[in-house]
Amino acid sequence: MIDTRTRKGKEITNLPESNSKHFTPGLGRNLNDFLQSLGEVLIDITALEVNTMVVERITGDKFIAWEAYRDIYPISRQYLEQQEIHESLRDRYIDLRKTMELEYTLLLSDPKSEFYDQSILDSAKEDNQILTNPTVELHEMQTRLPDPIRPTSPEEIFKAQALLHDYRFLRSLRKLSELKAALDSRNKALLRKQDELPGNVKPDVLHKAVTTDMIYAQTVLQLDGEVINRYSQEIFDHPHREMLLQIHRDGVIAGQKQWRGLLEFIIDLVQATLQRGSSKPKGQG
Amino acid sequence: MGHNFYRQHSQKASDRDGLNLEPYIKVDKEKIARKRFLIHGIRFNLDKDILQKIQQAQHTGRHLHISRELLTDLRYYALLEEDNHLQSGLTFCTYYLRSGSEEALLRSVISADGDIFHQIKSDCLERPNFCRRIASAHYWLIEQLMSQLRLRTLLRLNQLSWGLSLLIVAATVIPFLWPLMAANPWLLLAPVVMCWLLQVVLKRLLRLLSPTITRWALRRVLSGWLSRKPLQKNIAKGILAWLAP
């Protein structure tokens, strides 16, 4: 399967400089925060990533932030075992949980974030393994995320609520939730296939036998012009390989145009709302 | 788009207008309170005929007609969600109706920070020709919607300047209409010239002021949208639907 860890995870040292909280007069606080967050989206962009998945059925799952958070938070080795997640998929679930922890730790260590906590960076190195050690095991690190299932205090619930209002965290959560949904479906399909096939089936045989609910192809178009194509191993054995590749190529071309439309809309809107005059450069507020 | 399923049809004059698929594009809204809606995504309901129409449009370069109401919903959806969250991804789903039953075949999630997921139902792949057609239609519909999101001109300068100048000239000339007619009917040309001149001046003036006016209007619209009061939200939607083409 393709590694879909969020790209943002790699950019610990590359936090944007220009999005310090300044206030533009004449705008309400709501509007100011909103424009700021739109600006942050634009600054965070490093590449366009197009993923093509084959699924057994399209579900109209709605993204509900709290639900997604509540479902990813408890992930651990024991939990996955309890939930009867197929062994071959467990590492991928763990990765989702680690990415979520990383996103939160980045917020805690970002002086510009409202979640900034000075003590995070002062604390012992072992506590910050998620920031420094990419291979850290989930059980070796201590989670800082507010507990949505068994909160110890009302503050913890408020903290979780506040976190789910943070645009950056939400964007990442959305992607994690999308990946988790695919993993959940794949898990079901794998378990079903396992029951169908006689005897003890090797995981790689099983993965070949189940052709749905996975990302087959991924194309990353970086802003510097570099293009990276990744294909899952399984695509080479897929009965409709050519078709799938063709659809992916079409999806990449279409994706670029679709995304450009969305971006142009946002950029225009931010510019037109902040602009001081047609000929002058953008005001500094 | 290499395949040629498309037979050349005679191009009607009305084809220059966009392809209107309004009844087949639905905003998936959930009512969460009186006058408050949550938008979950956009849904395309296709069937054989619609698919063919889309293919024709793709081949002739015809664009999709999108009503102001849909466009406004879409803009709102692209920017916001309930509770002022920045919408973290736009979801588009294509349903196909065949022999009385419909099923979802494709789903795309597009987020502003550059993550796109295209999902395709596995049994769709077993019919290669159909699969390519429907995927291409699905991508095209999204592309059309996204490319029309952009706010072109908020102020229609031509109409506005003509309207204003007519109003001003009419208000000043009407009281003197009869005396002018009596003196020399040719003098009636003067108001026409006045009107034209005034319109030119007004247009320049408006063009100069338009960033300020646009900024003001947009701030009103966005503040309304961000407001928790449903009435304010709806007024803002109304203003945008009325202003933006």
Question: How many angstroms separate the CA of residue B26 from the nearest CA in chain A?
Answer: 14
pLDDT top residue among B63 and B39? B63
Q: Do A240 and B126 touch (CB under 8 A)?
A: yes
| A254–chain B Cβ distance below 8 A for any pair | yes
Residue A213's pLDDT band (boundaries 50, 70, 90)? confident
**Predicted model pTM:** 0.79
**Residue recorded with tokens 């309901």:** B45
Q: Do A31 and B223 touch (CB under 8 A)?
A: yes
For chain B, positions 31-60, list CB contacts with chain A under 8 A: 40-41
Question: How many angstroms separate the CA of residue B155 from the nearest CA in chain A?
Answer: 12
pLDDT top residue among B154 and B123? B123
Q: Do A272 and B140 touch (CB under 8 A)?
A: no
Question: What distance in Å separates the CA atoms of residue B115 and residue A45, rounded to the nearest whole number?
Answer: 10
| A43–chain B Cβ distance below 8 A for any pair | no
Question: What distance in Å separates the CA atoms of residue B164 and residue B166, rounded to the nearest whole number?
Answer: 5
Question: What distance in Å separates the CA atoms of residue B226 and residue B231, rounded to the nearest whole number?
Answer: 12
Average model confidence (pLDDT) across chain B: 81
- Mean pLDDT across the stretch A272-277? 69
For chain A, positions 84-143, list CB contacts with chain B under 8 A: none
pLDDT of residue A17 exceeding 50, the answer is no
pLDDT top residue among B145 and A130? B145
pLDDT of residue A252 exceeding 80, the answer is yes
User: Angle at which helices A241-274 and B189-226 pack, to 10 degrees?
Assistant: 110
pLDDT of residue B17 exceeding 90, the answer is no
Cβ atoms of residues A145 and A104 within 8 Å: yes
Residues of A in contact with B212 (CB under 8 A): 277
Residues of B in contact with A16 (CB under 8 A): none
Cβ atoms of residues A13 and A131 within 8 Å: no
Question: What distance in Å separates the CA atoms of residue A271 and residue A276, rounded to the nearest whole number?
Answer: 9
Q: What is the pLDDT of residues A66-119, one digit of tens each?
A: 899 999 999 999 999 999 999 989 999 999 999 999 999 888 888 888 888 877
DSSP A83: T
Residue B155's pLDDT band (boundaries 50, 70, 90)? low
Q: What is the CA radius of gyration of chain B?
A: 24
pLDDT of residue A8 exceeding 70, the answer is no
Backbone φ/ψ region at A213: left (φ over 0), alpha (ψ -120 to 50), beta: left
Which residues lie closer than 8 Å to B156 by C-beta, 6 or more apart? Answer: B245
- The pLDDT of residue B145: 94
User: Percent of chain A having pLDDT more than 70?
Assistant: 85
pLDDT of residue A284 exceeding 70, the answer is no
Which of B92, B103, B118 to mutate: most A Cβ within 10 Å? B118
**Residue recorded with tokens 């670029």:** A256
- The pLDDT of residue A9: 40
For chain B, positions 83-102, list CB contacts with chain A under 8 A: 83-86, 88-91, 93
| B151–chain A Cβ distance below 8 A for any pair | yes
Q: What is the bridge-based pairing of β-strands B115-121 and A47-55? A: parallel
- The pLDDT of residue B31: 76
For every residue of A154-175, which 3-state class applies, written as one string? Answer: HHHHHHHHHHCCCHHHHHHHHH
| A65–chain B Cβ distance below 8 A for any pair | yes
Q: What is the pLDDT of residues B199-224, one digit of tens each?
A: 889 888 888 887 787 788 888 888 88
Look at residues B61, B71, B24, B49 and name the one whose alpha carbon lies nearest to residue B140.
B61
| A278–chain B Cβ distance below 8 A for any pair | yes
Q: What is the pLDDT of residues B224-239, one digit of tens each?
A: 877 767 777 777 777 7
Q: What is the bridge-based pairing of β-strands B19-20 and B64-65? A: parallel
pLDDT of residue A51 exceeding 50, the answer is yes
Question: What distance in Å separates the CA atoms of residue B118 and residue A70, rounded to the nearest whole number?
Answer: 25
Cβ atoms of residues B190 and B176 within 8 Å: no
Residues of B in contact with A55 (CB under 8 A): 107, 119-122
Q: How far apart are the first and last CA of chain A?
A: 47
Helix/strand/coil for A154? helix
Question: What distance in Å separates the CA atoms of residue B170 and residue B164, rounded to the nearest whole number?
Answer: 10
pLDDT of residue B12 exceeding 60, the answer is no
Residue A184's pLDDT band (boundaries 50, 70, 90)? very high
- The pLDDT of residue A203: 82
Which of B94, B96, B119, B131 to mutate: most A Cβ within 10 Å? B119
Q: What is the pLDDT of residues B78-101, one digit of tens each?
A: 877 555 455 567 899 999 998 888
Q: In sequence order, what are the beta bridge partners of B120? A: A54, B106
Q: What ranges make up the beta strands (E) of chain B? A: 19-20, 25-33, 36-46, 64-65, 90-98, 101-110, 115-121
Which of A5, A193, A258 to mutate: most B Cβ within 10 Å? A258
